[in-house]
Chains A and B, each alone.
Chain A
Amino acid sequence: SSLFVFDHKLTLKTCGTTTTLFCLARLFQIIEQELSWDFQTTASGKYKPFKVFYSRRCFLFPCKQAAIHQNWTDEVDYLNRFFDNGTSYSVGRNDKSNHWNLYVTETDRATSEETDCIEDDDETFEVLMTELDPECADKFVCGPDTSTAAPAELNEDKGHNLGYQMTKKTKLDDIYLNSSQDSNLSFHHDAFAFTPCGYSSNMVLDEKYYYTLHVTPEKGWSYASFESNIPVFDLSQGKQDNLDVLLHILNVFQPREFSMTFFTKNSENPSFKKLLRIDESLSEYITLDKIVYDLDDYHLFYMKLQKK
C-alpha cells in the first residue's frame, strides 16, 4: 500500500482488508482545523473538493473484506454521504465478477475559475495483473531462510535492503528512460520486501511523478499492480510511450490475465492513441473488453486481456 501527498492532492492505495474510505471523515476534519481548508459547501455537510476518484477491481475474496468494503453499493452509499456530485460506474463484465468499479465526482469548476490557474495536466495508467507466471512470482518471495547478513549499521533494515535487491533483480527501476545515461531527471526509490513474501515500492521521477508497484506472489491468488502518473511521452521527449511501459511490466510478471486503465484529460495524448490499438501488439493475449468512456473532463480507456 502507498500514500502520495502533494500540496493540493493526495492518492491513497491500499490492499488487503484495509478500510480505505474510513479515512475521509478525519481527513476533512484535519484539513479544516490545520490548513483552514473548508470544503463543506452544503447544509447537509457534504464536501466539494475539486475532484475525487475512487476505484478498484473486484476483490479475489470479497466476503473477507471489512465493513462497507464488502460490496460496491455500500461503498458508493458511503461516498455519497461525503460528496453529492459523484457518479458510479461498473466497467467490464459483471457476470464474471472481474470487472472494475469507478466512482468519480463532477469537477468543481468554481475553484479553477476563481483562481484562473492552469489545471494540472494529468494522466494515470494502471495495470492490475492476476495469475502471475510462477517463475516471475518467485522473484518476490524472500522466505524465512533468506540469508541476509545482519544489519551492519543501526538504521540498516532487512526489509528495505531486500526490497532494493528485488527492484534491481527484476529491473523494475528500469521501466522509464531515466538512467543516468539517457536523462538527468531525479529518480527516488523506496521498496520493501515482506516476509515470507510480497513486495511494495514507490518510485518518484523528476520530483513530482510517481509509479508504484505492489506484488502478492502466493500461488492461488498471485497478483501484481502497477500505477503511474508519469506523462511518459512528454518526459521522454517522444522516445517512449505507455505501450513500451506496459510491455516492460508484462514481461516482468507475465500474468495470465490483466486489466488496464488509462485516464487522460487530452484525447490527443499520444499514449491514448497508441493504447487504443494496443491489442495489435499483444499477440499472446486475447481482448476480453475494450471500453472508452468520456467522463466530464477525462477520457478513460479500459481493457481486459487474457492469455491465449
Chain B
Amino acid sequence: TVTIKELTNHNYIDHELSATLDSTDAFEGPEKLLEIWFFPHKDAITTEKTLRDIVMARWIEILKLVKCEVLSMKKTKELDAFLLSE
C-alpha cells in the first residue's frame, strides 16, 4: 500500500498542466496499447546508452505527436513511469 510520501517524491510534475487539465469532454476510455521490445533483455543492449537515456524533452516531443502531454513521472531503478494528460 502507498504512503503519503509518494506525493512528494516525483521526478517530474507539470504543475501548470495539472492545474488546468479539464476532462469535461472525455468520452473514449478504451485505449490503444503499443509495446515495443527493441531487445529481448536489457543485457542484450550492445550500446552504452539505452531508452532511459532519452531526455524528457524528447519524450515530450514524441508524445506531442500522439496528442498527449506529460503530467508527472516517477523513476525507479529499472523503469520510468509517465502519467499522461489524456
Task: Please give the residue numbers on chain A whose beta carbons come within 8 Å of chain B beta carbons, in ascending order.
Answer: 1-23, 26-27, 30-31, 34-37, 39, 49-61, 64-66, 69, 111-112, 114-115, 117-120, 124, 126, 128, 130, 155-161, 164, 167-168, 173-174, 178-180, 186-192, 194-198, 200-204, 207-208, 210, 214-216, 218, 221-225, 227
B73 to chain A, nearest CB (A): 8
Check B2–A7 contact: CB distance below 8 A. Answer: no
From the candidates A111, A161, A192, A223, name the one contacting B30 in the complex (CB within 8 A): A223
Contacts A159-B21, A208-B77 hold; do A34 and B38 have CB atoms under 8 A apart? no
A26: chain B residues at CB < 8 Å are 61-62, 65
How extensive is the interface on chain B, given as a class? Answer: 35 or more
User: Which of A13, A16, A214 has the most CB atoms of chain B within a 10 A radius of its CB?
Assistant: A16
Q: Nearest residue in A to B23 (C-beta to C-beta)?
A: A194
Per-position binary interface string of chain B over residues 1-37, scored 1 when its CB falls under 8 Å from any chain A CB and 0 otherwise = 1101011011001010011011110111111111111
B67: chain A residues at CB < 8 Å are 16-19, 66
User: Which of B10, B36, B58, B61 has the most CB atoms of chain A within a 10 A radius of its CB?
Assistant: B36
From the candidates A9, A12, A53, name the one contacting B39 in the complex (CB within 8 A): A9
B30: chain A residues at CB < 8 Å are 15, 56-60, 128, 223, 225
A57, B4: Cα distance in complex, Å: 35
Check B2–A167 contact: CB distance below 8 A. Answer: yes
Q: Nearest residue in B to A107 (C-beta to C-beta)?
A: B40
From the candidates A8, A64, A186, name the one contacting B38 in the complex (CB within 8 A): A8
